[in-house]
Structure 1
Amino acid sequence: MVKFLMTAALAGSLAGLTSIAEARSVYDGSWDLLFVTQRGTCDPNYSFTVIINDGIVTHPNLVRLKGYVASSGAVRASVTVQDKYASGSGRLSDKTGRGTWRGYSGTARCSGYWTAQRN
């Protein structure tokens, strides 16, 4: 389940962005994400793909995922699954991105970084 949360973390990493997602964002499309744990007992790394559409980050299996990309490329996201939560932030360029994430599963805390590659 921690893997699932890390997936959504950008996806993590990827809540609280004050600007509204831009329609037809230059970041729209499919992005491959890699999450790496640097602290805590989460899986060492995990990868998955998200879709950005009109600046909104989505994943077909994550209902409680909130993710937004601003026109500047700033990205924030969070996800909640039962007693697990993860959030993250960072920045996308036209083809790549990176940022940090943190989260918890029960009482366990984890954090690390994420990278993104446009498909």
Structure 2
Amino acid sequence: MTKVKTGLAGVLLAAALSSGIATPVKAQAAYDGLWSVLIITEQGTCDRGYRYAIRIKGGKVTHADPANSSFRINGRVSGNGATRVSVARGDQSANGSGRINRNVGAGRWKSSKGECSGIWQAERRGS
């Protein structure tokens, strides 16, 4: 496994959670908290799997510890749980989409150049 592959998978994870749909903050707050996200590569040469901690606050998805993160996450969760995220690390990036409910979620991701793709699974870990 190369560092490049590891970075891309991390990008992919974050890419899994977000949606730019405008929704009342109260509805989005239902998803607020710390989440653990598992990224699984189904196609391509990226590492097989990764697990990351993310934070959702007011519908915005970020890394749980952005000061110590090597990748950038830009995502949203709409009031109905639809998620859409973009993740980048260096010149690598990925996009993901799916849906979460109050405690779990799932979806698909794909690297921006199409070299890797797969699924993601999320689980709420706390507030």
Match of 1:101 in 2: 109
What residue ranges of structure 2 are gaps of 5+ in the alignment? none
User: Aligned equivalents of 1:92 and 1:113: distance in 2?
Assistant: 13
- If the length of structure 1 is used for normalisation, what is the TM-score? 0.85
Aligned residues: 117
Match of 2:16 in 1: 13
Pair 1:108–1:10, CA change in 2 (3 A): closer
Moved over 4 A (4+): none
User: Aligned equivalents of 1:15 and 1:78: distance in 2?
Assistant: 8
Q: Is the 8 A contact 1:97 1:116 kept in 2?
A: yes
Pair 1:56–1:115, CA change in 2 (3 A): same
Q: Give % identity.
A: 38
Aligned-residue RMSD, C-alpha? 2.2
User: Aligned equivalents of 1:21 and 1:85: distance in 2?
Assistant: 29
Deviation of 1:47 (Å): 0.4
What residue ranges of structure 1 are gaps of 5+ in the alignment? none
Note if 1:110 corresponds to 2:116.
Answer: yes
- If the length of structure 2 is used for normalisation, what is the TM-score? 0.80
Deviation of 1:15 (Å): 6.7
Secondary structure of 1:34's counterpart equals: strand
Match of 2:59 in 1: 55
* Aligned AA (1:83): D
Higher helix share: 2
User: Aligned equivalents of 1:47 and 1:21: distance in 2?
Assistant: 30
User: Aligned equivalents of 2:55 and 2:11: distance in 1?
Assistant: 12
Pair 1:37–1:57, CA change in 2 (3 A): same
